[in-house]
Structure formats: structure tokens, C-alpha cells
Amino acid sequence: MATTPSTRSGRSPGRIAFDRLKRDPAALFGASIVAVFVAVALGAPLLTALSGWDVQTFDKSAIDRSLGGVPYGDLGGIGAEHWLGVEPGTGRDVFARIVYGARVSLLISVAATAVTVVAGTVIGLVAGYVGGRTDTILCRVMDLVMSFPSLIFMLALLSVAPDANRVLLLIAIMSMFSWPYVGRIVRGQALSLKHQEFVDAARVGGGRAAHILFKEMLPNITGPILVYTTLAIPANIGTEAALSFLGVGVRPPTPSWGQMLDDSLKWYQVVPSYFIVPSVCLFLTVLAFTLLGDALRDALDPRGTNA
Amino acid sequence: MILYLGKRVLAVAGVLLVICAVTFTIFYVLPTDPAVHACGKTCSSEQIALVRQEMGLDRPIHEQFAAYVSGIAAGRDGCAFPCFGYSYQNSLPVWDLLTDRMAVSVSLALGAALLWLTVGVLIGVASALRKGSALDRTLMAGTLASASVPVYFTAMILLLVLVQYLEFLPYPDYRPLTEDPVGWATNLLLPWVTLASLYAAMYARQTRSSMIETMGQPYIRTARAKGLHERTVVTKHGMRSALTPIVTIFGMDLGGLLAGAVITEHVFGLPGIGQLTYDAIFKADQPVMLGVTLLAAFFITVANLVVDLVYAGIDPRVRYA
Amino acid sequence: MTALLQVTDLRVTFAAGTAVDGVSFTAHQGRTLGIVGESGSGKSVSSLAVMGLHRNAIVEGSIVFDGEELVGASPSRLRALRGSRMSMIFQDPLSSLHPYYTVGEQIAEGYRLHAKASRRAARERAVEMLADVGIPSPRARVADYPHQFSGGMRQRVMIAMALVCEPDLLIADEPTTALDVTIQAQILELIKKIQEERGVAVIMITHDLGVVARVADEVMVMYGGAPVEHAPARQVFKTPGHPYTRGLLDSIPRHDLGGGGPLQAIPGSPPSLLTPPQGCRFHPRCPIYARASAEICATERPAFIAGLACHYPGAAT
């Protein structure tokens, strides 16, 4: 039997997926880590107030200036005063920089993903629904953008771009190279939905194109889009870190994990904690979003193995 | 087949031309004056004017673009400004900088690729064939974690433990393969492992899902119904189809890395194209950035072409389409 | 007449539940057994069990092929029989053929393995087989790929592949379902012709009584993982004993069988493997139960006696 888009009887597909997610330990683990990081990012000022150190204060007493700024203490200055140690050379509080770095990381990656998904969805829907020449042209453009060496191009663009609003710039440039991936998925889905009865019915009933696209078709492809979104966020977190690491991300003094990692390269032999802390944060966020995305994909799979 | 090949080559040429145009726009039409970048911030306005003239920036844009494209086609010696260009910061033509460092990036990419392809495919196939077993779950948890570990961490922790604490390996210092093959391999081992640990994890996951899907195909049942040994069923009938999508991503990944693994090369201090890129960003060395970008585009599009050809070799349905 | 294949009390259990329980049948040289049922009735599961092709299932009961017990036989023994003495053709010839190998390679593969033939001899054999199944200019087409053939031609290739080692038993699992109606008849004729020429035993699995009417000598009707009726084909069509068989006959247009009444669909849907109904598995859809609402139908599973599993034998006709 063909799956009908909106079955009245029984649980809705979304409800089934949600129920499956609630029983999936990997999904719960991922979701809780994501929740912690979101809370940390949102509550950054509160957390630094609690810890007593803000992002920019240089704690000269925490570093040994005679040794070039190596933090006092065994673990890069980790202790009651500086929870995650201090930045070698300057003595800035690592906890504060991690917490504010989470803000930058999440803000940029989530916003870039949002722009990517919205642009990709609209373009994919139009390409799939309108078809013909519009579809051909849009597909060509998508193929072209996907054949760009994206990291190098981002580096090139970011290195020549004027230094206005770095965050907006990063969001724009990161989404510029990823929307075709969503576009492709949505176009494929739109093509297969286009000739289903309920769309025909809406068309025959005199529905406007915008209504058919966004009210009739879009609700039926939210599943794949949602999965892509969840899996695109960790990819974007990684990209943002890489760009910051390579010196074209957000500008200091705005803290970011990638920047910290770049800086830690000078110190990894003496102060290993300085690269381990941001690495672990990156690892956990990327892992958490990936777990969530994978679980979501399995949960939305109608052939679900654990139905 | 010839027709298909011709069409693909034309398409690649078209893509490269468009990428050239976009790159050109980024570097020469945007409000940032390349002459200022090339000359440096301390230059006087007369000096800048001179550089502008030398770089051909006073000519109309379409002329500049034509000169730029023909310059690339002509290669190192056949071009006037603004083509592959001259790095003011390094006082060397970009072409020479790229060719000097090519060997490092190619060594890094090929070695790592060999490693991750072998390990990734083996893990993926083993996992798929024992789907749901303890082995499968362990391997998949491992690859999920491994795929989430940032390369910086892998690189630095390997350096810290294997080089600094255990003194098991020397600090990576590139040796040309032709002069010192053993040194070449030992010095590249850590960068290879760093890159491969990330990619192998992704390939294992990809291979697993592709293999599971293939082994569920009716033609696998047909092969079993013929009385073939399971080994033959898996290798001849299963893997041949399951690895087809792997070819695609492998081509793209390898193509991307040939033009430099920026982060890995930077962390390990390997003097490849990636390190050149890093330095160029740092010093705002635009002619080098441009050269690197085009090189990367070239590798990716050519890798795409190769993938299509390999695909046609594997899948007769593409060949006869 | 000795049976080539004797299946007794077959039971196949998957992780999700028991798909087949209490299936017995025999197949004879030169004769065709039709196994009929809806999807999920267990007809394919039974035949895959005969071939030893279940990988994640427990197979119990007895399958005796030419005097040899196959339940519990070693994998290598089963491999030696598969493709050489018994072979199978499947529903969808396109997806059942490997897209990357030429039809010649795919036909020759089994022959090289079982007959220990050289590459060249196997290729000659493949050309011969293609000619036998009626593919025009076989010598040229042997090097073609499955996607270059039409649906009917692909199924001929599948048949050639199955027959390459001269098997004694041929299991055809819905061989015509994926084909156009006109092609269906050709394929059935081909299978019939092969059977007459080579004297193989054929098990024809189908949901289509029309197919069975054309080729089968005897018919076993399956419902919910077990046989409900088993009788000579003529008898099944003339005087169906089980209300389910009756329902199947009423739901197809049958000018040739002299029905002529209005078409009747069987209400409801096939039972779930996970939660089969209590009592007779057919009772929720059974017109006798609906009419008489006999309690026994809902509580007790009818025994399979004299080719029929029904508490009210005879009521269907």
C-alpha cells in the first residue's frame, strides 16, 4: 500500500518518529549534550559571572612571565580560580572563552544552516515543481556550486572580504556553498510529490503555486529536510572552527574555539590542556548533533527497524 | 562512449572557465584593490599606480579576464600580468611556488587516501556482513567517535604522545621520496594517520550502509541461488556494486586534498600547498591565494571527470546511456 | 511415482515471528505444483526454505530432495545442489539480474562452478541456453547487459540461467507478475515447454489463479503461513473446498472457467505475521463464519484433513 501523506488513523508519522526518538538512548544522549551547549551559549554572561572571570581580563598572576607566560599549576592553571585554566601568554580565563566561544560557534553554525536550508528548500521546491527550463538552469547552477572547492573558496573570499560584520559574512559565505545539497534533496522529493493526487487536487482546485508549494508539498518533505539540518549543523560547527583556526573566522578579541586551537598550536607541548579543552568541546558538540541526526533519520525511516 | 567522454570533457572545461571567472571577480573586481594588496600598505600612490599598470589593472575588465585566462592556458612562461601571478611577499612566481610544494601535498594525500580507503572499506564491509552484531556495534560506535574528533586534536595528541613523550617518531620533517624513501614514509606517517583516521571513519559508515543495501538486492539472492560460495557472492556480486558510490566520494575527497590539506599541513609544519595557503592568508598574499584556488578547482573538476569515467567503466548502464 | 521433493511439516521462524507453519507438499518429475496465496501467505518463504536460501531464520520439519534430507544439511552441500540440481527464478527479472555483468557471464557463472567448465565452454553453453529460451541472435546478445533487454527477454535470461545445469527441480516465484499480460503467456508457455522437454519438476508460486490454471497439475492454496487446500488443479477450479479458494476464484474474471457471476472481492486484509488471529486464520474474512458465526472457527485451528483445512468442508461450494 502506498503511504498516504496524512493518515487519519493511528499516530502521525511525526508522532511515531518522536516516540521512537524518546526510546533511543543515542538520541537522548545527543539531545542532552546539545541542550547543555545551547544552555551554556545562552547563559554565557551568567556563567562567567559565576566563575568570576570574563573573556577579556588578563590574569597576570596566573601565568609565569619568566617562562614566556606558561600558566602556573600542572594542568594549564586548571583549578578553583580558573575552572578550565588560563590562556598561556595572556592569562585570560579559558572557561570564559569556551563559554563565549560556544556562542559564536552555535550562532554561526545554526544561522548558516538555517540560511542554507531555507534557500535550498525554496530553490529545490521551485526547481522540482516548475520543471522545464527553470529546473535545468537551477540544476546546472547547483552542479556548478557543488564542484567548487568550497573550503579554499571560503578562505579566498574571506581573506579579501572587507572587515565589516564578520559573523554575518561567515554565515553568508558558509551557506553560499552548501545550499545546493539541500536543493538537490528537496528537488528530488518535490519531483516525486508533484504528481501525487493531493497535489493534483490542490492544483485542480485552483490553488496558487505558492500555496501548493508551501502548504501542500512542503509539509510532506520536512522529514528529510530536518535530518539534513541536524547533520549540517555539526558540519558547519567544524567548518567555522576550521575557518577560525586558519585565521579568517571571527576577529579577536571575539573568542572562538577554532582560534583557541590555532593559538594552542604554539603551546601544545607545554600546556596540553589548552588544546584539549576546545577539542573536547568540538568533539562533544559534533558528536551530539551527529547522534541526533542519525537517530532522527532512523526514526523517520518508514521501514523503521524498531517499529 | 566517445561521445560521452567528449561531453564530459567539455562540461569540465566549462566548469573550469566559470570558476576562473568567479575567482577573477573575487580578486580583481571586488572593491579591494589588488595593487594595494600586491604592493603593501606602505606604498605611495605613485608606486600603486605603477603596480596597477604593471598588473594590467588599468585595462578594461574583459581584456583583463581574457589575459588572465590565456595566461593560465599558456603556463609559467607564456603569460604577462595578471595571470598565475607573482608573489610579492615571496619574491617568486606563483607557478614556481606551487610546483615546488606539489610533491608534499600529493605525498600526503595519496598516502592517506590509500590508508583510509583500505581501512574504511574493510571496516564497512565487515560491519555490514555482521549487521547488528557486537562487532558491528563496536565498529560503528568507534567510527562515529573517530569521525567527530577534530583533526587538530588528533594531530596534536599524536605529536605529543608519539613524538614528544615516547620519542617513537621524529617530528615530521618532509623528505622527498626520491632521496630518502624511508624518511619520507616515517615523516609522513603521523599526518597520514591523522587524515586517515577521520576519512576512514566516514568511509566505513558509507561503505556499511551501501553494502547493507546492496546485500539486500534481489540479484544477491540470485547469486546465492546459483550455489555460489558466500565469499564470491560478497566480493563479486556485492562489493562491486556497493563500492560504486564510494568511488564518487573518494574522487572528490582525493581531489580536494591534492590541492593541500591546509589544517593538517599547518599543524605538522609540512611545506605543502596547504601551508602555502595558510601563509598566503596570513600575509594577504593575493596572487598566491588565487593560484591555490585555481589549482584546487582544477583538481576537483578533474577528479570529477575521472570519477565519471571510472563510473562508466564500472556501470554499463552509464556507458550505454 | 516417486517424489523428487518431499516437504513435511515445514516451519520457518524469523525473529519477528513464524512465517510458515505446518506446510507439506511433494513435487514430482515432469509435473507442476502450483502454490497460490496472497503476499505474506508464506508461499515464497516455503520455496526459499527448499532452496536453503534463508539466512536469518530457523527452518524445521523435513525437506527431502531425491532421498536426501536438506533440513540441517551443511551449507556446502546445499550450495552444491543449488543452481545445479534445483534452481529458482524470481519475480522481477531486472533487479534479480546483476546490472554490472553481461547476461552471458551471469548464465555461465553457475555452469562454470557446477560443471567445472572452462570459460570458453561456459560461454558456448550460455549462447546455447539463450537460443533454447528463444532469444533471437543469441551469439550477439550474450555480451549484452540486462538493461539492454526487455522485461520478457530478461525473464527468459533468468530461465536460461536457472536451467544451465539441467536441474531436476525448478521453482518459479511469481515469474510473470512483473511482466505485461501478453508477455506473461509467452513465459508460461516457455516454462511448460521446458518442462515437457526436460521432464523437470516445477513449483509455480503465484497469487494469480489464472497462471495456475494454465500450467499446474495440482494446486496448494496457502493462507496465513499454512496450506488451506491442496488438490488436483481441475478439482480446485471446479469444486473449491475452502471458502478462501472460493473467494479467490470469485475475485478473478473467469470466462474460461464458466463462472459468469459478478466479481467478488474478499473483504479485509491478510493476517499479520506478528499477531495471527485465534482459531482459523481465515475466519475474520470468512463468509461462512460471517453467516453462521460458528464459535469453533474463532477458537480452534482446523486440522488439515484430506487436502482441506476447514471446519465446514463442503460449505464453500
Domains belonging to chain A, first-starting first, are 24-300 (1.10.3720.10)
Window from A12-26, A67-81, B29-43, C219-233 with minimum mean pLDDT: B29-43
Closest CA–CA distance from residue C262 to any residue of chain B (Å): 38
φ, ψ (nearest 5 deg) of residue C228: -110, -25
**Alpha carbons A213 and A201: distance in angstroms, whole number:** 13
The kind and range of the H/E element at C20 are strand C17-27
Window from A67-81, B143-157, B228-242 with minimum mean pLDDT: A67-81
Q: Which residue has the higher pLDDT, C73 or B64?
A: C73
Q: What is the pLDDT of residue B35?
A: 66
Label residue A306 by pLDDT band (50, 70, 90): very low
The answer to whether B68 and B20 are in contact (CB under 8 A) is yes
What's the average model confidence in pLDDT over A38-60?
82
What's the average model confidence in pLDDT over B293-318?
86
A210: CB partners within 8 A, 6+ apart: none
φ, ψ (nearest 5 deg) of residue A274: -70, -30
Residue found under cell 549487521: B131
**Can you tell me whether residue B73 is helix, strand or coil?**
helix
Of C51, C90, C148, the CB nearest to B218: C90
What's the average model confidence in pLDDT over A95-111?
91
Q: What is the pLDDT of residue A244?
A: 92
Task: For B205, name the nearest residue in chain A, comparing CA atoms only.
Answer: A294
C99: CB partners within 8 A, 6+ apart: B219, B241, B315, B316, B317, C145, C146, C147
Instruction: Say how far residue C220 (Cα) sits from the centre of its chain.
Output: 10
The answer to whether B158 and B142 are in contact (CB under 8 A) is no
Strand partners, C33: C203, C218
Task: For B219, name the nearest residue in chain C, comparing CA atoms only.
Answer: C96
The answer to whether C89 and C128 are in contact (CB under 8 A) is no
What's the average model confidence in pLDDT over B205-218?
94
- Mean pLDDT over each residue of chain B, to the nearest integer: 85
**Alpha carbons C72 and C68: distance in angstroms, whole number:** 11
C86 interfaces chain B, CB cutoff of 8 Å: no
* B227/B305 same-domain check: yes
Cell triple for residue C116? 567445472
Question: Which structural domain range is residue B210 located in?
Answer: 95-314
Q: What is the pLDDT of residue A2?
A: 40
The answer to whether A289 and A234 are in contact (CB under 8 A) is yes
* B79/B171 same-domain check: no
C113 interfaces chain B, CB cutoff of 8 Å: yes
Which of the other chains make 3 or more beta carbon contacts under 8 angstroms with chain B?
Answer: A, C
**Alpha carbons B198 and B143: distance in angstroms, whole number:** 9
* B127/B266 same-domain check: yes
How deeply is C209 buried, as exposed, middle or buried, from its count of CB atoms within 10 A (0-12, 13-18, 19+)?
buried
- Dihedral sign computed on CA atoms, order C43, C45, C49, C53: positive
State pLDDT tens for residues A2-42. 444 443 445 677 777 788 888 888 889 999 999 999 999 89
Side-chain half-sphere CA neighbours of C102 within 13 A: 15
* B146/B295 same-domain check: yes
Of B147, B159, B290, the CB nearest to A268: B159
Q: How many CB pairs under 8 A join B and C?
A: 75
The answer to whether A44 and A302 are in contact (CB under 8 A) is no
Three-state secondary structure of chain A: CCCCCCCCCCCCHHHHHHHHHHCCHHHHHHHHHHHHHHHHHHCHHHHHHHHCCCCCCCCHHHEEHHHCCEECCCCCCCCCCCCCCECCCCCCEHHHHHHHHHHHHHHHHHHHHHHHHHHHHHHHHHHHHHCHHHHHHHHHHHHHHHCCCHHHHHHHHHHHCCCCCHHHHHHHHHHHCCHHHHHHHHHHHHHHHHCCHHHHHHHHCCCCHHHHHHHHHHHHCHHHHHHHHHHHHHHHHHHHHHHHHCCCCCCCCCCCHHHHHHHHCCCCCCCCHHHHHHHHHHHHHHHHHHHHHHHHHHHHCCCCCCC
CA distances from A189 to A208, A213, A301, B137, B161 (A): 20, 12, 15, 31, 49
**Alpha carbons C119 and C9: distance in angstroms, whole number:** 42
Q: What is the pLDDT of residue A307?
A: 31
Closest CA–CA distance from residue B305 to any residue of chain A (Å): 11
CA distances from C30 to A282, C33, C168 (A): 70, 10, 9
**Residue B321 domain-assigned?**
no
Strand partners, C23: C10
**Residue B125 domain-assigned?**
yes
Among B40, B63, B83, identify where a domain stops.
B83
What residues does each domain of chain C span? 92-164
Label residue B190 by pLDDT band (50, 70, 90): very high
Torsion of CA C110, C113, C117, C118, to 10 degrees: 100
Task: For B228, name the nearest residue in chain C, comparing CA atoms only.
Answer: C79
Closest CA–CA distance from residue A10 to any residue of chain B (Å): 29
* B150/B108 same-domain check: yes
CA distances from A148 to A124, B100, B252 (A): 19, 24, 11
**Alpha carbons A306 and A24: distance in angstroms, whole number:** 10
**Alpha carbons A116 and C83: distance in angstroms, whole number:** 53
Examine the pLDDT at B146 and tell me if it is beyond 80.
Answer: yes
Label residue C285 by pLDDT band (50, 70, 90): confident
What's the average model confidence in pLDDT over C245-254?
80
Global confidence as pTM: 0.86
Closest CA–CA distance from residue C161 to any residue of chain B (Å): 8
Q: What angle do CA A230, B253, B280 make, to 5 degrees?
A: 95
State pLDDT tens for residues B154-172. 999 999 888 888 888 888 8
Whether residue C145 and residue B317 make contact (CB cut-off 8 A), yes or no, is yes
Closest CA–CA distance from residue C96 to any residue of chain B (Å): 4
* B76/B150 same-domain check: no
Whether residue B26 and residue A261 make contact (CB cut-off 8 A), yes or no, is no
**Alpha carbons C228 and C243: distance in angstroms, whole number:** 9
Q: What is the pLDDT of residue B18?
A: 86
CATH of the domain at B222: 1.10.3720.10
Q: Which residue has the higher pLDDT, B36 or A255?
A: A255
Examine the pLDDT at A206 and tell me if it is beyond 70.
Answer: yes
State pLDDT tens for residues C253-265. 755 555 556 677 7
**Residue B105 domain-assigned?**
yes
Q: What is the pLDDT of residue C172?
A: 94
C46 interfaces chain B, CB cutoff of 8 Å: no
Among B83, B103, B136, identify where a domain stops.
B83
Using DSSP bridges, classify how beta strands C32-36 and C86-89 pair: parallel, antiparallel or unpaired: unpaired
For chain B, percent of residues with pLDDT exceeding 90: 41
Cell triple for residue B97? 611556488
Of B218, B224, B237, the CB nearest to C95: B218
What's the average model confidence in pLDDT over A265-285?
89
- Mean pLDDT over each residue of chain A, to the nearest integer: 84
Whether residue C113 and residue B228 make contact (CB cut-off 8 A), yes or no, is yes
Label residue A1 by pLDDT band (50, 70, 90): very low
Of B314, B315, B320, the CB nearest to C148: B320
Q: What is the pLDDT of residue A6?
A: 41
What 8-state DSSP symbol labels residue C284? G
Whether residue B300 and residue A275 make contact (CB cut-off 8 A), yes or no, is no
Q: What is the pLDDT of residue A3?
A: 41
- Dihedral sign computed on CA atoms, order A204, A207, A208, A214: negative
Short-list B212, B202, B177, CA closest to B116: B202
* B57/B204 same-domain check: no
Examine the pLDDT at C178 and tell me if it is beyond 90.
Answer: no
State pLDDT tens for residues B84-94. 666 767 777 77
Contacts of C145 in chain B (CB under 8 A): 316-317, 320
Whether residue B228 and residue C87 make contact (CB cut-off 8 A), yes or no, is no
What 8-state DSSP symbol labels residue C228? E
Whether residue C53 and residue B224 make contact (CB cut-off 8 A), yes or no, is yes
Window from A77-86, C87-96, C306-315 with minimum mean pLDDT: A77-86
Residue found under cell 516457455: C190
What's the average model confidence in pLDDT over C295-309?
85
What's the average model confidence in pLDDT over C205-219?
90
Strand partners, C60: C11
Window from A19-23, A225-229, A238-242 with minimum mean pLDDT: A19-23
Cell triple for residue B179? 632521496
Mutation for testing the B interface, residue in A160, A169, A233, A265 having most B CBs under 10 Å: A160
What 8-state DSSP symbol labels residue C4? S
* B167/B188 same-domain check: yes
Whether residue A160 and residue B159 make contact (CB cut-off 8 A), yes or no, is no
**Where are the strands (E) in C74-125, listed by range?**
86-89
φ, ψ (nearest 5 deg) of residue C263: -70, 140
Short-list C190, C181, C193, C172, CA closest to C36: C172
**Alpha carbons A288 and C303: distance in angstroms, whole number:** 56
Whether residue C161 and residue B320 make contact (CB cut-off 8 A), yes or no, is no
**Alpha carbons B286 and A20: distance in angstroms, whole number:** 52
**Residue B88 domain-assigned?**
no
Cell triple for residue A13? 508519522
Helices B286-314 and B94-129 pack at an angle, to 10 degrees, of 40
**Can you tell me whether residue C1 is helix, strand or coil?**
coil
Which of the other chains make 3 or more beta carbon contacts under 8 angstroms with chain C?
Answer: B
Window from B6-10, B27-31, B99-103, C88-92 with minimum mean pLDDT: B27-31
**Residue B58 domain-assigned?**
yes
Among B57, B83, B109, identify where a domain stops.
B83
**Alpha carbons C7 and C28: distance in angstroms, whole number:** 12
Of A153, A248, A282, the CB nearest to B150: A282
**Alpha carbons B288 and A156: distance in angstroms, whole number:** 10
- Residue A161 amino acid letter: A
Short-list B218, B163, B211, CA closest to B191: B163
- Dihedral sign computed on CA atoms, order B310, B314, B316, B321: negative
How deeply is A204 buried, as exposed, middle or buried, from its count of CB atoms within 10 A (0-12, 13-18, 19+)?
exposed
Q: How many domains does chain B have?
A: 2
* B53/B192 same-domain check: no
Closest CA–CA distance from residue A246 to any residue of chain B (Å): 7
How deeply is B174 buried, as exposed, middle or buried, from its count of CB atoms within 10 A (0-12, 13-18, 19+)?
buried
Which of A59-63, B89-93, C187-191 ranks highest by mean pLDDT? C187-191
Which of A56-65, A148-157, B114-123, B247-256 ranks highest by mean pLDDT? B114-123
**Alpha carbons B275 and B96: distance in angstroms, whole number:** 15
Strand partners, C13: C18, C58
Of B144, B148, B289, the CB nearest to A156: B289
B48: CB partners within 8 A, 6+ apart: B33, B35, B36, B39
- Those residues of chain A whose CB sits closer than 8 Å to some CB in chain B are 144, 147-149, 151-153, 155-157, 159-162, 234, 238, 241-242, 245-248, 261, 264-265, 268-269, 272, 275-276, 279-280, 282-283, 286-287, 290-291, 294
Q: What is the pLDDT of residue C249?
A: 85
C239: CB partners within 8 A, 6+ apart: C317
Whether residue A276 and residue B296 make contact (CB cut-off 8 A), yes or no, is no
Whether residue B156 and residue A264 make contact (CB cut-off 8 A), yes or no, is yes
* B273/B302 same-domain check: yes
Of B30, B160, B277, the CB nearest to A155: B277
Mutation for testing the B interface, residue in C109, C149, C169 having most B CBs under 10 Å: C109
ipTM over 0.85: yes
* B210/B155 same-domain check: yes
Short-list C287, C289, C291, C308, CA closest to C299: C289
Residue found under cell 610546483: B99
Examine the pLDDT at B321 and tell me if it is beyond 70.
Answer: no
Q: What is the pLDDT of residue A5?
A: 45
* B205/B280 same-domain check: yes
Of C92, C113, C148, the CB nearest to B227: C113
- Residue A55 amino acid letter: V
Window from A17-26, A296-305, B12-21, B239-248 with minimum mean pLDDT: A296-305
